[in-house]
Amino acid sequence: MSTVETKDFGMNRRSFLKSAGVSVAFAGSSLGFVSSGIAQETVLRAYGVTTAQMDDPSLISKATGIKLEFTPTDADIGVFMRDALANDIGETHDIMIFDGGTQDILGPQGFYAEIDETNPALDLWERTPDFWKKSDISVYDGKTYGVPILGNCDAFAYFADAIGANPNGQDEIPYSVLYEDDRTRGRVALDRVFSQSLACMANFLKVNGRLQIEDPANLTPEQAKAVVDYAVERKKAGTFRTLHNSFEEQVQLIQSREVDVLECWEPAVKEAEKTMKDEAPIYAYAVEGGKKWGHGAYIPKQALERGNGEAIYEVLNYFLGGEFRAYQARDRSYAGPNMDLGVEYAEKSGWSSEQVEELRATDKKISRKMSNPNAFWAKPTAPHAGVMEQEWQRFLSA
């Protein structure tokens, strides 16, 4: 079996251009064309999912003295891996942010550098709970490749009146309202992405003892087939109204009340609340837990070779700190490591008591969801992802 070597060529396209550039720069400097000693603001470039981006990027600059230029990408694992493996994005970017799991492939292959847990700039690492720093977001094969920066436990949103649930939103709701409830038949929306829908359906069948499944996020071919058989049966029974493909679609489905229950991201409910107020749906505490996920920040090896290590660790430490935590919780309902620092930051920064209480509530909410024993960790780079995608097509085609 021969695989493409994307990294270990003697000289690839980018390294050729780079060495050519170095030669030109050397020639230029020897002729006195390149001046030195011009004081410049430290600029780092990050590439990653938009959810990790601060609404106000100047906050990072003020806190760290480092300007972080963010190149956003969506949540497609394929796009991210293509940019990492084939486009060698580490040549141009200093920090990469994505769902935990990419380190399983990019770490051992030498694309990511190991995190230096003793780096003095990373002084919040020590106090960061093991739940985060020893999780699938950060670690692979005993080595730490990523700094966990935020996370949540994805489930679904529901309109309480449609399923006769308590409107205070504190009850645990079973996933059966998505798959097998006559009250919601034909008014259910699933995520079109198999790593969400197929995995959560597998978890439902696992928790309720219908199928023997070890890891809902990494189904064997036989398990994937069995879960998709169930999905096809439910589809033919007219359970699902639609499959959505984007955050905007999630919000629209909620606002138009096209469905009563939908798999979605929690920020979609947050967004709907802006216009729907009390009419907005509730983001569920699911009986079956849901899908735990987290974004990690990773260092491309080339970034350290460029001598950007110290600045990078400053920014990684910022991600573990109170300001980043507070704004992520306020704007997106996301939590992450060191939430107590977020609350502390909000209090010191004069946020209203209502906002501080909301941060505490977010912390409690995510702790409750994350500690549900039925919840499972997402695996965007699952070894059986290819099989799962192929089987999911059978559901889509049915």
Partner 1 sequence: MTALALSSPPRRRWRLPGTATGWFTGWFLLMWIGVVVLPLLIISTFSFFSMHQYQIVYDPTLATWTSLVDTGRWVVVLRTIRFAVSVTLLEILVAFPFALWLAKGCRSAAVRAGVITLLTIPFFIDASSRIIVWRSILGTNGVVNNLLVGSGLIDKPLAWLLYSDFSVSFGMFGSYFPTAVFPIFLTLSLIDDDLIKASFDLGASRLQTLRHVILPLAMPGIVGGIVFTFVPLMAAWIEPQLLGGGQVNLLGQSIQSALNNLNYPVAAALSTIVIAVLVLMLAVLVVSLRGRFKMSSLFQSVDG
Residues near partner 1 (CB under 8 A) are 1-4, 6, 76-79, 81-82, 85, 105, 186, 190, 192-193, 240-245, 252, 256-258, 381, 385-386, 389-394, 396-398
Residues contacting residue 118 through CB under 8 Å, at least 6 positions apart: none
Least distance between partner 1 and beta carbon 381 (Å): 7
Least distance between partner 1 and beta carbon 355 (Å): 34
Please give the structure tokens belonging to residue 177.
């309202």
**For partner 1, which is the closer residue by CB, 154 or 191?**
191
Distance CA 253, CA 18 (A): 48
Least distance between partner 1 and beta carbon 117 (Å): 27
End-to-end CA distance of the chain: 34
Q: Which amino acid is at 94?
A: D
**For partner 1, which is the closer residue by CB, 14 or 192?**
192
CA-nearest of 281, 272, 266 to 334 is: 266
**For partner 1, which is the closer residue by CB, 23 or 246?**
246
Q: Is 261:173 a contact under the CB 8 Å cutoff? A: no
DSSP string, 339-375: HHHHHHHHHHTT--HHHHHHHHHHHHHHHHHHT-TT-
Give the dihedral sign, CA 217/108/298/79. Answer: negative
**For partner 1, which is the closer residue by CB, 275 or 393?**
393
152 sits in the region (left: phi over 0; alpha: psi -120 to 50; else beta) called beta
Least distance between partner 1 and beta carbon 273 (Å): 19
Least distance between partner 1 and beta carbon 210 (Å): 23
- Classify burial at 208, counting beta carbons within 10 Å of its beta carbon; exposed 0-12, middle 13-18, buried 19 or more: middle
Least distance between partner 1 and beta carbon 99 (Å): 13
Residues contacting residue 71 through CB under 8 Å, at least 6 positions apart: 45, 46, 47, 48, 93
Least distance between partner 1 and beta carbon 240 (Å): 8
**For partner 1, which is the closer residue by CB, 319 or 392?**
392
**For partner 1, which is the closer residue by CB, 59 or 77?**
77
**For partner 1, which is the closer residue by CB, 313 or 395?**
395
